Chains A and B, each alone.
Chain A
Amino acid sequence: MTAPHDRPTVPELLEAVREFVEAGFAESAEARVRFHARVAANVLCIVERELALGAEQQRAHEARLRALGFRDDAALAAAIKSRSVDDRYDEIARAVRDSIHDKLLVANPGYIEI
């Protein structure tokens, strides 16, 4: 809970909306509405996971980039593009894979196993 606000907390509010979207449109006759409701419910799942994991992931990501000597993803992307880090492929690829892993933990954890 974040003071001064009352319950439901932000995650609890999101969960309530997601449950409404999931249940409210499940019976809808129109396939297009059902499809978009499923997409919307999935988006809310992403938001819930990012609320839970985002702060820690942001710290880890910044530490990863700092260890490589970059202030953000834009600087890393620019360095790769300019060919100036060709000789550091292994450590950079490892960091990039770690970032993707974290992104998938939020966006679609099921994808990591595939």
Chain B
Amino acid sequence: MNVHQLSGGTSRETWSFDAGGRGLILQCQRQSDDAVRLGLDSQTALLRAVRAASVPVPEVVASGEGDPDVGDWMIVERLDGETIPRKILRDDTFAAVRPRLTADVATALARIHSIPLGTVASLERRDEVAAYRRILDDVGEPHPAFELAFRWLERNRPPPSEPAVVHGDFRMGNFIVSAGGLRAVLDWELAHIGDPLEDLGWICVKSWRFGGTLPVGGFGKREELHADYERASGRTIDPDAARWWEVFGTLRWGVICIMQAMRHLSGAERSVELAAIGRRVAEVEHDVMAYLP
């Protein structure tokens, strides 16, 4: 069976094991820990829907809900490939793959955004800007740079695109890349109904470039991403609107860093790593100010 645990917490666990001649991953979740993250039951439905739309994702082999011992659970196939961004961006193994990654992620995004809105009923329609505004207010720490960014976003908001199913965390770190290209898009728990440009902006945020120089995940150019996406989706991208979402994505990352430090400070999860993230907020303030006049 070759069973071992990949991650664990009070409400969620992930295990790897072999059965029936193939590698599998078991995820279980006793209850959804917050309102923003999708429950495992919804993630299962979403994974099946996006797979039907030819988005590269692991196949769901089996799933169940409300088990008295493990709660909701799903078993997916374990895929070969690399998830560590710095390896994908630097290792020779991926030298031939890197030039095609932009087209691969553009196509995957176009397919995700083509899924009919009613396919997964539990996906929430939400205004991400308002959601992160609220989070920053709730934390109560003053960040003048982020206030300037929110003010800029407020004054420059582009007209909304046709709403779509968005992944919500579409970036390096959530991709499995193999010798053949983008093998799978992982981590669907932040999926919701929103502006498709949100995903296109998020993948360009500086912290997802992992030291790479190119804006799209460290490996691609914005113009290529947009052209490939337009070809695959039939949608038209306004570069200024895409940039607006990139600025929002940067601000969002800053707020997430603050939340991570707060997890440590509140005692929810004491960790030197989370504590250190609090001092990385200045990097994101620097990044967001670089977009502003």
Per-position binary interface string of chain B over residues 14-35, scored 1 when its CB falls under 8 Å from any chain A CB and 0 otherwise: 0000000000000000000000
Residues of A within 8 A of B87 (CB): none
Distance in Å from the Cβ of A77 to the closest Cβ of chain B?
Answer: 4
Q: Which residue of B143, B275, B282 contacts A107 across the interface (Cβ within 8 Å)?
A: B282
B276 touches A72 (CB 8 A): no
Residues of A within 8 A of B293 (CB): 89, 93
Distance in Å from the Cβ of B274 to the closest Cβ of chain A?
Answer: 10
A76 touches B142 (CB 8 A): yes
Q: Which residue of A80, A97, A108, A111 contacts B289 across the interface (Cβ within 8 Å)?
A: A97
Kindly state whether residue A62 has any CB partner on chain B within 8 Å: no
Distance in Å from the Cβ of A63 to the closest Cβ of chain B?
Answer: 16
The stretch of B56-64, B88-96, B145-153, B194-202 in contact with A is B145-153
Number of interface residues of B (CB under 8 A): 21
Chain B facing A: main interface SS: helix
B142 touches A77 (CB 8 A): yes
Cross-chain pair count, CB within 8 angstroms: 75
A107 touches B289 (CB 8 A): no
A92 touches B148 (CB 8 A): yes
Residues of A within 8 A of B150 (CB): 81
Residue of A nearest to B277 (CB): A39
A80 touches B147 (CB 8 A): yes
Per-position binary interface string of chain A over residues 92-112, scored 1 when its CB falls under 8 Å from any chain B CB and 0 otherwise: 110011011001101110011
Per-position binary interface string of chain A over residues 69-97, scored 1 when its CB falls under 8 Å from any chain B CB and 0 otherwise: 00011101110110100100100110011
B292 touches A93 (CB 8 A): yes
Residues of A within 8 A of B142 (CB): 72-74, 76-78
The stretch of A4-12, A22-30, A40-48, A51-59 in contact with B is A40-48
Residue of B nearest to A42 (CB): B276
A81 touches B282 (CB 8 A): no
Distance in Å from the Cβ of B211 to the closest Cβ of chain A?
Answer: 9
Distance in Å from the Cβ of B282 to the closest Cβ of chain A?
Answer: 4
B144 touches A99 (CB 8 A): yes
Q: A73-B142, A89-B293 are contacts. A103–B285 as well, Cβ < 8 Å?
A: yes
Kindly state whether residue B130 has any CB partner on chain A within 8 Å: no
Residues of B within 8 A of A111 (CB): 282-283, 286
Kindly state whether residue B221 has any CB partner on chain A within 8 Å: no
CA distance A107 to B286 in the complex (A): 12
B286 touches A77 (CB 8 A): no
A100 touches B272 (CB 8 A): no
CA distance A76 to B289 in the complex (A): 16
CA distance A43 to B275 in the complex (A): 9
Q: A76-B142, A107-B280 are contacts. A100–B289 as well, Cβ < 8 Å?
A: yes
6 contacts between A and B (CB under 8 A): A46-B276, A76-B142, A83-B151, A93-B289, A100-B285, A104-B286
Kindly list 15 other residue pairs between chains A and B, CB separation below 8 angstroms, not including A39-B272, A46-B276, A108-B283.
A43-B275, A72-B142, A76-B142, A77-B143, A77-B144, A78-B142, A80-B147, A80-B151, A81-B147, A97-B289, A99-B145, A100-B145, A100-B282, A104-B286, A108-B282
